């Protein structure tokens, strides 16, 4: 297939393509976009070989990532936009109720092949393997929500960014390539499919029972248009100030994490465009100081979106216990366990933490903002994720509480970044620090006395479009 590196493409079963099928089926799950989507382009090109069009199916359920109404709404908003943009390309999108294991095999009965995108959590992998086992045509996975495919960059879990970075760098160039945008051989808009009407989200959600009935995050509308808009805005106003990213009130980060975590924008596109920036005249508008800082800001942002993001994926891929305390490095578990006998000044229950009723005003504000808006700036997350250690008797309990809060409320939660991010607070991908009570060798985080105590004003600055 043109311009899609071979390592991105994996056959998941031994069945052959079915040239007599009515269409190529793309089961969309992890990449809610039609721009720069290698799985979609692969499906279109395969369809062209058989003179068939492409049908895209999305399965709506309330498990895993979609267990929160907040994230399901984000997905629905992205899908409504996709329905139109795919239709303009002659591709029908069918959003259907049910799990992929139940639905994809029946859709595939009349398909030439099933194409799927790649996701990394335990449940995602089980579902893909189960589908591959039960369909009777070829099942092909195309991995394009990472820059370098996870098994290409490293054959095992890497302990630190320091060892991971050069492995990524060694493989980067051949993966910095976007798929060609192809035209489907045939339109599938007239294929008769039972599907949900996406005009009324409330009606759809009424029919679902969410384990976490959390309100939608209004500041983060789903969809690839919004992802693109945020990316452009960051290039214009954020990147030249990225050196201030540790100040949560500076609004100097991209706020792209929900869009990346739902695949609304391609990380390959971001990296390519980032590298083109220095050639672009839009930097003429920068001050001298900003221009001077630009190369280091670009390098710092690239390190986050490439190294940090992809080492998180490496972690969940190669660590079966990624969602438990046992997934942490041995030294981190040991030091925390040894320090579990140290006195805690306060103990709070999960429910007190959830409602922002701890002794720490700053932490409470961050938590309440998370409950309401579904997103936190990166540096705040680090402080927020670590503090439960001070308020629980067992470090494993602190880890569990932080992860649960993250999974319930973060719009980008229940994702590799979430599991590795909470893990980092408890020693993952980090080095031992000077020993302290309760923390042991884990890097502690305290509040800078000069940090503002009221974050509420700054939200509106951060999220202005």
Ligand X SMILES: Cc1cc2nc3c(=O)[nH]c(=O)nc-3n(C[C@H](O)[C@H](O)[C@H](O)COP(=O)(O)OP(=O)(O)OC[C@H]3O[C@@H](n4cnc5c(N)ncnc54)[C@H](O)[C@@H]3O)c2cc1C
Which residues here bind ligand X, judged by CB under 6 A?
A: 245, 253-257, 260-261, 304-305, 308-309, 312, 378, 381-382, 385, 406, 410, 412-413, 415, 417-418, 420-422, 424-425
| Shortest reach from residue 410's CB to ligand X, in Å | 4
Angle, to 10 degrees, between the axis of helix 330-338 and the axis of helix 395-409? Answer: 120
Yes or no: say if 48 and 37 are a contact pair by the CB < 8 Å rule. Answer: no
Between residues 94 and 366, which has the closer beta carbon with respect to ligand X? 366
Between residues 162 and 203, which has the closer beta carbon with respect to ligand X? 162
Between residues 86 and 390, which has the closer beta carbon with respect to ligand X? 390
Between residues 139 and 311, which has the closer beta carbon with respect to ligand X? 311
Between residues 42 and 424, which has the closer beta carbon with respect to ligand X? 424
Reading the block at residue 208, the tokens are 């679902």
| Shortest reach from residue 19's CB to ligand X, in Å | 39
| Shortest reach from residue 99's CB to ligand X, in Å | 23
Yes or no: say if 306 and 260 are a contact pair by the CB < 8 Å rule. Answer: no
Q: Dihedrals φ, ψ of 336, to 5°?
A: -70, -40
Question: DSSP character for 440?
Answer: B
Let me know how long the chain is. 465
Inter-CA distances, 212 with 209, 307, 449, Å = 9, 31, 35
| Shortest reach from residue 129's CB to ligand X, in Å | 24
The phi-psi region of residue 263 (left if phi > 0; otherwise alpha if psi is between -120 and 50; otherwise beta) is: left
Closest residue to ligand X, judged by C-beta, is 421
Reading the block at residue 413, the tokens are 């939660």
Between residues 86 and 328, which has the closer beta carbon with respect to ligand X? 328
Cα 24 from Cα 37, distance rounded (Å): 15
| Shortest reach from residue 420's CB to ligand X, in Å | 6
| Shortest reach from residue 235's CB to ligand X, in Å | 11
Reading the block at residue 88, the tokens are 């303009």
């Amino acid at each position: 297939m043109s311009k899609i590196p071979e390592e991105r493409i994996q056959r998941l079963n031994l069945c052959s393509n079915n040239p007599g099928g009515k269409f190529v089926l793309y089961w969309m799950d992890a990449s809610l976009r039609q721009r720069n989507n290698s799985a979609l382009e692969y499906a279109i090109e395969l369809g062209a070989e058989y003179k068939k069009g492409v049908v895209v199916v999305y399965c709506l359920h309330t498990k895993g990532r979609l267990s929160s109404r907040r994230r399901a709404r984000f997905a629905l908003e992205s899908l409504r936009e996709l329905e139109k943009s795919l239709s303009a390309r002659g591709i029908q999108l069918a959003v259907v109720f049910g799990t992929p294991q139940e639905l994809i095999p029946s859709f595939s009965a009349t398909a030439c092949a099933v194409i799927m995108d790649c996701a990394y959590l335990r449940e995602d992998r089980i579902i893909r393997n189960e589908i591959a086992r039960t369909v009777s045509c070829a099942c092909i996975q195309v991995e394009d929500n990472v820059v370098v495919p996870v098994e290409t960059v490293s054959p095992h879990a890497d302990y630190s960014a320091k060892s991971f970075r050069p492995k990524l760098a060694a493989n980067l160039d051949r993966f910095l390539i976007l798929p060609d945008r192809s035209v489907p051989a045939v339109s599938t808009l007239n294929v008769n499919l039972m599907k949900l009407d996406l005009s009324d989200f409330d009606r759809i959600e009424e029919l679902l029972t969410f384990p976490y009935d959390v309100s939608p995050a209004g500041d983060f509308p789903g969809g690839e248009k919004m992802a693109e808009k945020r990316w452009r805005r960051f290039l214009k106003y954020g990147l030249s100030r990225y050196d201030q990213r540790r100040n949560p009130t500076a609004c100097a980060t991209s706020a792209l994490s929900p869009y990346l975590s739902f695949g609304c924008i391609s990380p390959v596109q971001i990296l390519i465009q980032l590298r083109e920036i220095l050639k672009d005249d839009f930097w003429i508008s920068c001050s001298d100081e900003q221009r001077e800082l630009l190369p280091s800001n670009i390098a710092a942002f690239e390190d986050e979106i490439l190294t940090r993001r992809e080492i998180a994926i490496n972690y969940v891929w190669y660590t079966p216990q990624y969602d438990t305390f046992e997934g942490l490095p041995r030294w981190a578990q040991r030091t925390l366990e040894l320090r579990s006998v140290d006195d805690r000044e306060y103990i709070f229950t999960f429910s007190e933490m959830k409602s922002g009723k701890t002794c720490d005003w700053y932490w409470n504000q961050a938590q309440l903002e998370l409950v309401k808006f579904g997103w936190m700036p990166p540096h705040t997350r680090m402080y927020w994720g670590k503090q439960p250690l001070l308020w629980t008797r067992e470090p494993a309990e602190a880890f569990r509480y932080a992860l649960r809060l993250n999974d319930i409320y973060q719009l980008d939660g229940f994702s590799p970044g979430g599991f590795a991010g909470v893990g980092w607070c408890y020693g993952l991908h980090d080095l031992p620090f000077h020993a302290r009570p309760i923390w042991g060798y884990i890097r502690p985080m305290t509040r800078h006395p000069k940090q503002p105590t009221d974050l509420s004003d700054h939200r509106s600055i951060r999220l202005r479009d």
